């Protein structure tokens, strides 16, 4: 049991995000004889991936958190057997793994995809626009927010008001449905705050890493200077 646990978390630290959701890897866990352990491992691995979204994507974080909460509550209340909860968690793991490919399929960066998710949180929005239109709006929105994002903007009421105005102006320009406007602005604002915090954390980590690398470097070796000859006759 301990060997399996260690192997899983070793893999977690040396592989890229979501590599743990490789179908073969999941099947190995799902087919473990220790069914209770299989449930705990799946829950642990899924929770770790959701924690990544808590730092990067508001909509996906909420969506997947709600699903795992609902599944585990049903399990703990005796409404799901071990077999059933494992199947539910496997389905959720597949959804999270598939979500990783969304950006590539849409031609969006990770940041852009998060804003795309914010804009399309109401499913009806995808029926209102052509997908090419949504992608264009997303790119314009991300670029606008990037250009107008300042340090600690989310802590200044005037800066927050300006960001809300920019978001609303852009959505009106593209005829975003009025009935969903306020919810969209609120979700985009939350995503922008998360985005800013994530960027600042990344920059701080990079700064610390650079400092550490600088202090870890060995000092340059200096060429030994030849000593001045002794006993030389001083010149007049």
Instruction: Let me know: does 57 contact 26? Beta carbons within 8 Å.
Output: no
Alpha-helical runs (H) found in 57-177? 58-76, 82-99, 102-106, 110-119, 125-128, 131-148, 157-173
Sign of the CA dihedral running 103, 104, 106, 111: positive
Q: Based on the domain organization, do 121 and 197 belong to the same domain? A: yes
Q: Is residue 184 part of a domain?
A: yes
Q: Based on the domain organization, do 210 and 175 belong to the same domain? A: yes
Q: Is residue 20 part of a domain?
A: yes
Q: Based on the domain organization, do 137 and 85 belong to the same domain? A: no
| Domain span holding position 71 | 2-100
Amino acid 143: pLDDT = 95
In the three-class reduction of DSSP (H, G, I as helix; E, B as strand; rest coil), residue 225 is classed as coil
Q: Is residue 220 part of a domain?
A: no
Q: Based on the domain organization, do 59 and 156 belong to the same domain? A: no
Q: Based on the domain organization, do 152 and 88 belong to the same domain? A: no
Q: Is residue 223 part of a domain?
A: no
Residue 81 DSSP code: -
Q: Is residue 222 part of a domain?
A: no
- End-to-end CA distance of the chain, in Å? 87
Q: Based on the domain organization, do 130 and 184 belong to the same domain? A: yes
- φ/ψ bin of 61: left (φ > 0), alpha (ψ from -120 to 50), beta (otherwise): alpha
Amino acid 198: pLDDT = 65
Q: Is residue 225 part of a domain?
A: no
Amino acid 19: pLDDT = 53
Give the tokens for residue 154. Answer: 């989310």
Q: Is residue 233 part of a domain?
A: no
**Cα(223)–Cα(80) distance, rounded to whole angstroms?**
73
**Cα(29)–Cα(192) distance, rounded to whole angstroms?**
37
**Cα(230)–Cα(236) distance, rounded to whole angstroms?**
17
Q: Which of 80, 100, 120 is the last residue of a domain?
A: 100
Q: In tens digits, what is the pLDDT along the chain, a chain of 236 residues? A: 555 555 554 454 334 444 556 778 888 888 888 999 999 989 988 999 999 999 999 999 999 999 999 999 999 999 999 999 999 999 999 999 889 889 999 999 999 999 999 999 988 999 999 999 999 999 999 999 999 887 778 888 999 999 999 999 999 999 999 999 999 999 999 999 998 876 554 444 444 455 555 455 545 444 444 444 444 544 44
**Cα(222)–Cα(84) distance, rounded to whole angstroms?**
68
Q: Is residue 151 part of a domain?
A: yes
Q: Based on the domain organization, do 173 and 152 belong to the same domain? A: yes
Q: Which of 57, 84, 100 is the last residue of a domain?
A: 100
Count structural domains, the chain. 2
- What number of H helices and E strands is found in the chain? 11, 0
Amino acid 227: pLDDT = 47
Amino acid 109: pLDDT = 95
């Amino acid at each position: 049991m301990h060997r399996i646990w260690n192997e899983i978390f070793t893999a977690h630290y040396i592989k890229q995000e979501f590599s743990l959701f490789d179908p073969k890897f999941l099947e190995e866990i799902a087919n473990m004889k220790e069914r209770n352990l299989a449930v705990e491992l799946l829950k642990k691995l899924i929770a770790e991936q959701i924690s990544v979204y808590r730092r990067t994507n508001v909509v996906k974080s909420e969506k997947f958190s709600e699903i795992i909460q609902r599944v585990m509550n049903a399990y703990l209340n005796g409404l799901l057997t071990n077999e059933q909860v494992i199947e539910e968690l496997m389905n959720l793991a597949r959804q999270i793994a598939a979500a990783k490919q969304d950006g590539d399929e849409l031609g969006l960066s990770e940041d852009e995809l998060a804003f795309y998710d914010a804009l399309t949180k109401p499913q009806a929005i995808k029926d209102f626009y052509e997908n090419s239109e949504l992608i264009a709006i997303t790119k314009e929105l991300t670029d606008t927010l990037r250009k107008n994002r300042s340090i600690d903007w989310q802590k200044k009421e005037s800066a927050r008001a300006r960001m809300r105005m920019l978001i609303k102006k852009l959505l009106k320009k593209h005829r975003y449905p009025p009935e969903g406007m306020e919810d969209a602005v609120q979700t985009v604002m939350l995503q922008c705050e998360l985005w800013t915090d994530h960027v600042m954390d990344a920059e701080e980590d990079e700064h610390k890493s650079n400092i550490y690398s600088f202090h870890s470097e060995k000092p340059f070796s200096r060429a030994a200077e030849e000593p001045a000859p002794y006993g030389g006759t001083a010149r007049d």
